[in-house]
C-alpha cells in the first residue's frame, strides 16, 4: 500500500503566449498521482501513480471497474480533493475571468427554485454578469439542447433527460476551459442517452472544450472520446490508453453498427473483464 508523503502535491496553472494568441501544448499533465483516504483505523488507496497527458480541446473518456478511483481523479482535477502524492499541471489558456473548469454530475444538480433559463445562466450571474447579457448568453445553449419552449419551466416540470440537458447547457454557457463529466447519462434510459450523446457531440464539435468524461459504458466512451483511458481495479492505475480513430462528426446509432466499433469494444472489455471480477471479489470480501 502507498504511504502518504509529507511533501504536498503541486498544482500549477500556467500559460504560454505568442503574440496575442495563447498556445497550450498539453492542457493537463499528471505525473505519479496517488490518493490515499485515511480512516480512523485503516487507509484506502484510491489511485496509484497515475500518469496522463491531456491535449487542449481533447475529449478524453475514462472507463474502469466500480471503485477504481475514476471520480476521485476527476475531483482532484476539479480541485475538490488534494492528491497524496504526485503532481498535477493545468495550463490555463483563456482569460482569467473565465472559470477553469465546470462539472456535470450523474445526479441532476439544478436549483429547484430557478427556471431553466436562470439555472443555465446561474454561473454567469455568480460572475457578476447582468441579467440581460446572461440571458442572451444562455439562450443559444438552451436552443442547442432543444429546450427553448421550456426556458421558463422549473425543474420539477421536466423529465430526467431534460434536466440533464439543462445541466449540459449550464456547463457550456459558463464557458469553462475544461469540462468534467461524472457519468452524466448513467441514470437515463437508452433512447434519452443516445439523444443526449448526440447533443453533447454537437455542442462539443461547435465549441471544442477540453473534456474528461467518466463512464462505466465502453460503448459510450468509444462514441464520444478521442481517446479512452482504461483503469485497473482499486487502487486505480492506467492500464492502457486507446486511440479512437472514428471520424468526426459522429452519429451515435450509425457508429454502433460498424464492425470496427464492435471489435474495439470487445478488445477493451477483454482488458477490463479481469479487473471487474477482481473488484467484485474485493467488494464481497
Q: pLDDT tens across 219-228, in order?
A: 999 999 999 9
Report the C-alpha gap between 35 and 90 in whole angstroms.
Answer: 18
pLDDT of residue 1: 43
Quick one: cell of 38? 485515511
Q: Which of 8-17, 97-106, 130-139 has the highest mean pLDDT?
A: 130-139
Q: CA–CA separation, 62 vs 42, rounded Å? A: 28
Three-state SS at 175: coil
Q: Phi then psi for 66, rounded to 5 degrees?
A: -60, 140
Tell me the average pLDDT across 79-85.
92
Is residue 118 over pLDDT 50?
A: yes
Q: How confident is the model at residue 95 (pLDDT cuts 50, 70, 90)?
A: low
The answer, yes or no, to whether residue 279 has pLDDT greater than 80, is: no
Residue 74, pLDDT above cutoff 50: yes
- Identify the residue whose cell numbers are 482569467: 96
Alpha helices in the chain (DSSP H): 70-78, 116-120, 122-126, 131-144, 160-173, 190-207, 218-224, 252-256, 259-284
pLDDT at 284: 58
Structural domains in the chain plus CATH codes: 10-100+176-284 (3.40.50.300), 111-175 (no CATH)
Give the bridge partners for 52, in sequence order: 30
Q: Residue 136: what pLDDT?
A: 95
**CA pair distance 267, 209, nearest whole angstrom:** 28
Residue range 199-209, pLDDT digits in tens: 999 999 998 99
What was the pLDDT predicted at 240?
Answer: 95
- φ and ψ of 31, to 5 deg: -130, 120
pLDDT for position 248: 93
Q: What is the pLDDT of residues 231-270, one digit of tens each?
A: 999 999 999 999 999 999 999 999 999 999 999 999 999 9
Considering only 59-73, 135-149, 249-263, 271-285, which range has the smallest mean pLDDT?
Answer: 271-285
When computed from its CA atoms, the radius of gyration of the chain, rounded to whole angstroms, is 19
Is the confidence at residue 62, as pLDDT, over 90?
yes
Q: Which residue has the cell 471480477?
A: 277
CA 29, 9, 26 angle in degrees (round to 5)?
10
Global pTM reads 0.88
Cα separation, 35 vs 50, in Å, equals: 10
Amino acid at each position: 500500500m502507498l504511504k502518504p508523503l509529507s511533501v504536498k502535491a503541486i498544482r500549477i496553472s500556467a500559460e504560454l503566449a505568442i503574440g496575442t494568441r495563447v498556445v497550450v501544448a498539453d492542457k493537463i499533465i499528471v505525473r505519479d498521482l496517488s490518493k490515499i483516504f485515511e480512516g480512523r483505523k485503516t487507509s484506502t488507496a484510491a489511485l496509484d501513480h497515475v500518469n496522463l497527458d491531456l491535449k487542449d480541446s481533447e475529449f478524453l473518456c475514462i472507463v474502469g471497474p466500480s471503485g477504481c478511483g475514476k471520480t476521485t481523479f476527476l475531483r482532484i482535477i476539479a480541485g475538490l480533493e488534494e492528491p497524496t502524492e504526485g503532481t498535477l499541471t493545468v495550463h490555463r489558456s483563456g482569460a482569467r475571468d473565465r472559470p477553469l473548469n465546470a462539472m456535470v454530475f450523474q445526479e441532476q444538480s439544478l436549483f429547484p427554485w430557478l427556471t431553466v433559463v436562470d439555472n443555465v445562466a446561474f454561473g454567469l450571474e455568480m460572475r457578476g454578469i447582468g441579467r440581460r447579457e446572461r440571458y442572451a448568453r444562455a439562450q443559444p445553449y438552451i436552443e442547442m439542447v432543444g429546450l427553448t419552449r421550456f426556458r421558463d419551466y422549473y425543474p420539477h416540470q421536466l423529465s430526467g433527460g431534460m434536466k440533464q440537458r439543462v445541466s449540459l447547457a449550464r456547463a457550456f454557457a459558463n464557458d469553462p476551459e475544461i469540462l468534467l463529466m461524472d457519468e452524466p447519462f448513467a441514470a437515463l434510459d437508452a433512447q434519452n442517452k443516445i439523444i443526449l450523446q448526440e447533443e453533447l457531440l454537437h455542442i462539443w464539435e461547435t465549441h471544442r472544450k477540453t473534456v474528461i468524461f467518466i463512464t462505466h459504458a465502453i460503448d459510450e466512451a468509444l462514441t464520444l472520446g478521442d481517446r479512452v483511458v482504461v483503469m485497473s481495479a482499486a487502487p486505480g492505475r492506467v492500464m492502457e490508453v486507446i486511440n479512437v480513430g472514428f471520424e468526426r462528426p459522429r452519429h451515435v446509432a450509425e457508429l454502433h453498427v460498424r464492425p470496427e466499433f464492435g471489435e474495439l469494444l470487445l478488445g477493451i472489455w477483454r482488458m477490463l473483464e479481469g479487473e471487474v471480477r477482481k473488484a467484485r471479489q474485493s467488494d464481497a470480501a
